[in-house]
Amino acid sequence: MAVFTVRDGRFGILLVRRGNPPFKGKLALPGGFLEPDEDLDDAAARELAEETALSAADVHLEQFRGYGAVGRDPRTRVVTICYLALVPSPPAVVAGGDAADAVWVAVDDILADPSMMAFDHARIVRDAAAHARGKLEHTTIAAAFCPKEFTLSDLRRVYEIVWGEALDPRNFHRKIMKVDDFLLPTGTATTRDGGRPAALYRAGAATQLRPPLYRR
């Protein structure tokens, strides 16, 4: 599982600290083995629930890609199918399961120093992060990082943090609102200190962002 979130102004991923060899002490992607009686998607949902206490209904969960290089686990041949999960911030703190040593790590810190990762997981993180970043351009998955109700600023901040670049709030507002069935008004607004209250929205049924919202 590549479980991404946006937390404390960073694009983060859920990792577990390995307590046993090989790669003892290094960070690894959480995951587990397919049960004999479950489909791939079901196994991913189960693993996600075990690691984060989040149900698949609350998050964006999609199959990403398979990895099967021969030496990727020094113990035996392992073919992995990596799933991508995008969870809202702050994500439910990790529960008791296998993931007692689960930590949130900023993606950019991993890309800057891949040696902190076990197995070929640094490469998987790199691939999955690039995939997620790219998908923000032409899909509505950014909303998966937001809570059930959110403002346009919340959504814009997701884009800015994941991409690491500033977007014009005015133009962002109009571009997003032009997409049919992306943001559904709730009729309510935020109350904060110092500033006009923002309208709250829920994510609608739209999945494609057309036209796309490009990075620089």
Rule CB under 8 A: which residues touch a copy of itself? 34, 36-40, 43, 63, 65-70, 77, 79, 81, 138, 210, 212, 214
Which residue, 135 or 202, has its beta carbon nearer to a copy of itself? 135
Q: Which does 174 bind (CB under 5 to 8 A by kind): a copy of itself, DNA, none?
A: DNA
Smallest separation (angstroms) from a copy of itself to the CB of 69: 5
Whole-number CA gyration radius for the chain: 18
Smallest separation (angstroms) from DNA to the CB of 181: 16
| Phi then psi dihedrals of residue 31, to 5 deg | 170, -170
SS3 sequence of the chain: CEEEEEECCEEEEEEEECCCCCCCCCEECCCCCCCCCCCHHHHHHHHHHHHHCCCHHHCEEEEEEEECCCCCCCCCCCCEEEEEEECCCCCCCCCCCCCCCEEEEEHHHHHHCHHHECCCHHHHHHHHHHHHHHHHHHECHHHHHCCCCECHHHHHHHHHHHHCCCCCHHHHHHHHHHCCCCEEEEEEECCCCCCCCCEEEEECCCCECCCCCCCC
Smallest separation (angstroms) from a copy of itself to the CB of 72: 9
Which residue, 72 or 173, has its beta carbon nearer to DNA? 173
Smallest separation (angstroms) from a copy of itself to the CB of 123: 13
Q: Which does 96 bind (CB under 5 to 8 A by kind): a copy of itself, DNA, none?
A: none
Smallest separation (angstroms) from DNA to the CB of 90: 19
Which residue, 8 or 109, has its beta carbon nearer to DNA? 8
* Residue written as token pair 């599982």: 1
Smallest separation (angstroms) from a copy of itself to the CB of 77: 6
Which residue, 24 or 210, has its beta carbon nearer to DNA? 210
Q: Which does 133 bind (CB under 5 to 8 A by kind): DNA, a copy of itself, none?
A: none
| Sign of torsion over alpha carbons 38, 143, 127, 120 | negative
Give residues in contact with DNA (CB under 7 A): 151-153, 168-171, 173-175, 177-178, 189, 191-199, 211, 214
Q: Which does 69 bind (CB under 5 to 8 A by kind): DNA, a copy of itself, none?
A: a copy of itself
